[in-house]
Amino acid sequence: MDQANAIEAFSALAHPSRLDAFRLLVRAGPKGLPAMEISRQLGAKPSTLSGHLSILKRAGVLTATRHQREIHYAANLANINELVQFLIADCCSGQLDDCKITLCP
C-alpha cells in the first residue's frame, strides 16, 4: 500500500458514522450485511448511510456485492491488513517478530 491509498483509507474512516459502519462489518465477518441491516443496526437513515458506505468502498476498506435488489457490504480485510502493514512497516526496525502485533489472517 502506498501513502496516498493509506491517507484515503484513513480519511474515509475518520468520521464517526463511517467508523461505526466499518466496525460493525468487521464484526459481521466475510459475509457482511445488507445495507438496510447496517442502517437498522446503526440507527442511521438509509440515504445518509448510503453515502458513507460509498466513501468507504471507494477508499477500499469495504467491498460491495449485489444480491438481487440488495447490496451487501463487507469489510475488505485484505486491504485493512495492508493498511496495518503500512503503518507498522518500520516497527522495531522492520523486525515484526519483535513487535507484539497480531494481524488478521
pLDDT digits (tens, 9 = 90+) for 9-61: 999 999 999 999 999 999 999 999 999 999 999 999 999 999 999 999 999 99
Helices marked H in 29-103 = 35-42, 46-58, 77-88
Smallest CA-to-CA distance from 72 within 62, 58, 81 is with 62
Whether 56 is covered by a domain: the verdict is yes
The pLDDT of residue 5: 96
CATH number at residue 38: 1.10.10.10
Query: Span 85-96, mean pLDDT?
Result: 76
Residue 8 lies in a domain: yes
Per the domain annotation, does 19 fall within a domain? Answer: yes
pLDDT tops 60 at residue 105 = no
62 assigned to some structural domain: yes
104 within domain boundaries: no
Which residues does 18 contact at the CB level (< 8 Å), separation at least 6? 12, 52, 55, 56
Cross-strand pairs, 74: 63
Domain holding 70, by residue range, is 3-98
How far is it, in rounded angstroms, from Cα 39 to Cα 14? 19
Q: Answer whether residue 91 shows pLDDT above 80.
A: no
Burial of residue 21 (CB within 10 Å: 0-12, 13-18, 19+) is buried
In a domain, 89, yes or no: yes
pLDDT at 90: 78
Q: Is residue 20 part of a domain?
A: yes
d(CA 7, CA 30): 24
Q: Would you say residue 97 has pLDDT above 90? A: no
Identify whether 78 is part of a domain: yes
Read off the pLDDT band of 100 (50, 70, 90).
low
- Structural domain tally of the chain? 1
Band (pLDDT 50/70/90 cuts) for residue 89 is confident
